[in-house]
Amino acid sequence: MNQDLLGIIMIITIVIGICVVLPIMIVWLVNKRKSHEIDKQTEILTTMLEKHPDLDPAEVMKKLNVSSKSHQTIKQKLLGNLFSGGMMTLMGLAVLIPHLCGLVFFGNKENGIYVGGMMLAIGVAFLIYYFVSKKQLSSEIEAEEKRLKELQ
């Protein structure tokens, strides 16, 4: 009886930790990072304005925002999704094939089939997202490439 109660308490603790504490910590860290970036930008802006009072604060802020964030083009984001989809598909197949062979030849029923199937499904979803987005965003990608060529 004590082991059953201990198991239930352990499961409840793990579920509360994953479902409650982890999301709160993620939100807290993201907000802390954003506030730190804002504090640094205001510190830079105030020191620049103290040294050069003739500067336009709006232009300085525009330059700070451009330099502090890494801008990825639509094409780069799509290629990242293609890479993720390919990797997840290959990893899913790498996990799924040996477990399927074990199931067919030896009758082993393991959870690897579920893990491999989920990874394969996620990879295929990334690939579908890539091809659909590439087709729908082709005009935006071309316009963005033209704009980047004009800036260079």
| Model pLDDT for residues 107-121, shown as the tens digit of each residue | 777 777 888 889 999
| 122 & 61 share domain | no
- With cut-offs at 50, 70 and 90, classify the pLDDT of residue 88: very high
Mean pLDDT across the chain? 85
For residue 84, give its domain range: 71-152
| 83 & 152 share domain | yes
Burial 50-66 (b: 16+ CB within 10 A, else e): eeeeeeeeeebeeebee
User: Count of domains in the chain?
Assistant: 2
Q: How many CB atoms lie within 10 A of CB 138?
A: 11
| 75 & 150 share domain | yes
What's the pLDDT tens digit per position in 127-149? Answer: 999 999 999 999 998 988 898 88
Q: Given this model, what pLDDT does residue 1 score?
A: 59
Rg, C-alpha atoms of the chain: 25
CA neighbor of 126 nearest in space, from 93, 79, 94: 79
| 12 & 47 share domain | yes
- pTM of the entire structure? 0.56
| 59 & 105 share domain | no
Mark which of 69, 91, 123 sits at the end of a domain. Answer: 69
How far is Cα 97 from Cα 102, in angstroms, rounded to an integer? 9
How far is Cα 27 from Cα 20, in angstroms, rounded to an integer? 11
| 64 & 89 share domain | no
